[in-house]
Structure 1
Amino acid sequence: MEFTEVEIILYGAEQLCPSCVNLPSSKETYEWLEAAISRKFPKQPFKISYVDIYQPPNDPVKAEFAKRVIEEDMFYPVVLIKEKVVGEGNPRLKTIFAEMKKYGYRAK
């Protein structure tokens, strides 16, 4: 299987989502996710970005999805890989790892 470098985008906000009171913040989840993926797939490049849903970047695709997160009351952080939602609220590593394996990532 061929390897394709993926971009993982985590959409979140400073403030916790109302249904996510006892969960880590979006930023903490982003840092935890980055570390966990690096450990699971060492020496396999991936890009991970954080998008604040209330202050999205100038990228029209990311800004549009940030708007969707708010309008559709999604539980954030929302984790996307290649435009596929792989985690909402409390993302599960197992789901994210399974999606990455579809792009040729090999677990250590």
Structure 2
Amino acid sequence: MIKEVEVSIYGAEQICASCVNLPSSKDTYEWLQAAIGRKFPDQKFSIHYYDIFHPPVDEEKNAFCKKIIEEDLFYPIVVIEGEIIGEGNPRLKTIYAEFEKYGYVSM
């Protein structure tokens, strides 16, 4: 059995100043959730959205939200199993490759 991968999307309602003309963070979250589900059907994964201006109680995720703001990182930021996989305009090919590293098989 493969490990259930955890995907975290960090972003905000307002679009990143450097990411004008790109989808919102929430739209990216919904798009990725659907795309990953289609690519790897019947293979469990968890995906969560975190608003960087309303951080969660979780200490680690809260600290990462602060880092995004302090370091002026482009958002949305896609994190898979604690590793940043994409910033601003994430690429599906990169995300799919990361899933395959964990044993997911595309259908």
TM bin, normalised by shorter chain, reads over 0.9
1:1-108 paired onto structure 2 within 5 Å: 3-108=2-107
Instruction: Mark the runs of 5 or more structure 2 residues left unpaired by the alignment.
Output: none
Compute the RMSD of aligned alpha carbons.
Answer: 0.7
Q: Deviations over 1:8-38 (max 9, x none)?
A: 0000000000000100000000000000000
- Aligned-pair distance for 1:64? 0.6
For the residues of structure 2 that align with 1:93 and 1:60, how far apart are their CA atoms?
Answer: 29
> Counterpart amino acid of 1:6?
V
Normalization by structure 1: what TM-score?
0.97
Q: 3-state SS of the aligned residue for 1:15?
A: coil
**Percent of pairs with identical residues:** 63
Q: CA deviation at 1:3?
A: 1.1
Letter in 1 for 2:41: P
Query: Which secondary structure state, in structure 1, belongs to the residue aligned with residue 17 of structure 2?
Result: coil
Structure 1, unmatched stretches of 5+, are: none
If each structure's helix is expressed as a fraction of its own residues, which one has the higher value? 2
Return structure 1 stretches of 4+ with deviation > 2 angstroms: none
Count of matched residue positions in the alignment of Structure 1 and Structure 2: 107
**Equivalent position SS for 1:87:** strand
Question: Which secondary structure does the structure 2 equivalent of 1:85 belong to?
Answer: strand
